[in-house]
Amino acid sequence: GQQLNQSPQSMFIQEGEDVSMNCTSSSIFNTWLWYKQDPGEGPVLLIALYKAGELTSNGRLTAQFGITRKDSFLNISASIPSDVGIYFCAGLEYGNKLVFGAGTILRVKS
């Protein structure tokens, strides 16, 4: 099956800093999504990307779908303590199956 590689695996940043994480795949996905998971909770959809090159924002979050449809990045501006959590990229495979990356753990130092 298709694999998604996320980097970095974890980050520890100062409150107020901008954050960037990315995700790559060896195969093409038609739809790319970014989720956040808080401890003990299910993943929550942050941003969905549908078109190659698409740049989409959701508040302090910005994500872009790579031109080749094999990569995406997520930026968080001016991080705050509640941004702590695990961020997953996911690709929508044929049909309705989501393939998740391994996640980026974000820790924010206040």
Partner 1 sequence: EPEVTQTPSHQVTQMGQEVILRCVPISNHLYFYWYRQILGQKVEFLVSFYNNEISEKSEIFDDQFSVERPDGSNFTLKIRSTKLEDSAMYFCASSDFSPVTQYFGPGTRLTVL
Residues found near partner 1 in the complex (CB under 8 A): 1, 31, 33, 40-45, 48, 50, 88, 90, 92, 95-103
Q: How far is CA 52 from the centre of its chain?
A: 16
Which stretches of 5-81 are DSSP H helices?
A: none
The nearest distance, CB 108 to partner 1, in angstroms, is 20
For partner 1, the closer of residues 61 and 90 by Cβ is 90
Beta bridge partners of 89: 34
For partner 1, the closer of residues 1 and 59 by Cβ is 1
The nearest distance, CB 39 to partner 1, in angstroms, is 11
Q: Which residue in this structure is represented by tokens 């302090």?
A: 60
The nearest distance, CB 101 to partner 1, in angstroms, is 6
**DSSP structural state of residue 83:** G
Distance CA 87, CA 21 (A): 9
For partner 1, the closer of residues 11 and 77 by Cβ is 11
The nearest distance, CB 60 to partner 1, in angstroms, is 21
Distance CA 104, CA 106 (A): 6
CB proximity list for 97: less than 8 A, separation 6 or greater? none
For partner 1, the closer of residues 43 and 66 by Cβ is 43
